Amino acid sequence: MKRTTLVLGACGQIGTELTLNLREKYGKDTVLATDIMEPSLIELKEGPFEILDVSDTNSLREICEKYNVNTVYHLVAMLSAKGEKFPMEAWDLNMRSLLNLLELAKGKVIEKIFWPSSIAVFGPTTPKQNTPQQTVMEPSTVYGISKLAGERWCEYYFNKYNIDVRSIRYPGLISWKSQPGGGTTDYAVEIYYKALEEGKYTSYISKYRTLPMMYIEDAVRATIELTNAPSENLKIRSSYNLAGMSFDPSTIGASIKNILPEFKLNFNPDYREEIAASWPESIDDSAARLDWGWTPKYDLKTMTEVMLKNLRTKLQLS
Ligand code: SER
């Protein structure tokens, strides 16, 4: 029986684009999309789709066996801002789902796992500029704590049981096909919607608060490139630093203004500003470049052009 690739959280921000991309590359039937809810994007139903709660160990195992799954992309998580409101739920969801998968790999039900980490593993005591791969890591959010613990588990399962697990510390991700939810960096997506719909936006992140960010197309490409890289090249089994671009709200605002001169940007920082303040401003991703040839394609200018063009069509604006 042929092997299937499984995407967990296929209706989410990364899951949507990753599923569509993998299906285009390898064929619709080779990628099983799953989520806890029915997809609103009809294209996700053009290949196999199952409703699945990743914390339900038995159902996860049954799906993996039924579809003869070899590689799993695990894209289910409660992000940083929502996690601060529901700390126990965030910890439970983020940890249990990863450990379930690592155990399935240990039991030889599946062969390979991609699991995302985040810049949230870093904290206020981490060097902010060009943050190294290995450095002080004292995250101050529940999301960050769960991702750091997850990284340690991944490396542990690799060293102890030879589990082929691969991971990236995603920066803030910007996309137009599906929206993020519950993250601190979501402002950099909302701003494009509001610019087109209302001509103005009030940022909950302060004017000059710089964060590492990346356009979704780069993030999906990085994810597939790392997952396909020869195992022996990968020196890091916790999680790779990954960089695309860095900007603050005033700079992304200016890039929108270049195309929409009337756009007005205001600031009203809330609790998410404190989370953002604890994260790096820029990331050193030389290990990813060296081990599996990573290079980003998008900068702020090209991303803004693509975002505004595609959102205009999506929102049916002239
Ligand atoms: N985008 C995530 C968040 O803001 C960080 O990985 O929570």
State if residue 146 touches ligand 1 by the CB under 6 angstroms criterion.
no
Per-residue pLDDT tens for 89-98?
A: 999 999 999 9
Q: What is the pLDDT of residue 29?
A: 95
Ligand 1 atom closest to residue 172's alpha carbon, by position in its atom list: 1
Ligand 1 atom closest to residue 118's alpha carbon, by position in its atom list: 6
DSSP, residue by residue, 125-163: TS--SSB-SS------SHHHHHHHHHHHHHHHHHHHH--
Residue type at 282?
A: S
Ligand 1 atom closest to residue 147's alpha carbon, by position in its atom list: 6
Per-residue pLDDT tens for 184-230?
A: 999 999 999 999 999 999 999 999 999 999 999 999 999 999 999 99
Mutate to test the pocket of ligand 1, among 84, 93, 185 (most ligand atoms within 8 A of CB): 185
In the reported structure, the alpha carbon of residue 185 is separated from the centroid of ligand 1 by a whole-number distance in angstroms of 6
State if residue 280 touches ligand 1 by the CB under 6 angstroms criterion.
no
Q: How confident is the model at residue 318 (pLDDT cuts 50, 70, 90)?
A: low
Return the residue whose CA atom lies nearest to atom 2 of ligand 1: 183
pTM over 0.85: yes
Which active-site residues does the annotation give?
143
Mutate to test the pocket of ligand 1, among 14, 75, 78, 80 (most ligand atoms within 8 A of CB): 80
Structural domains in the chain, CATH included, are 4-171+215-241 (3.40.50.720), 173-213+244-283+298-314 (3.90.25)
Q: What is the pLDDT of residue 313?
A: 96
To the nearest 10 degrees (0 to 180), the angle between helices 187-197 and 300-314 is 50
State if residue 184 touches ligand 1 by the CB under 6 angstroms criterion.
yes
Q: Considering Cα of 137, then 142, then 145, then 150, what sign does the dihedral take?
A: negative
To the nearest 10 degrees (0 to 180), the angle between helices 216-228 and 13-26 is 60
In Å, the largest CA–CA distance within the chain is: 58
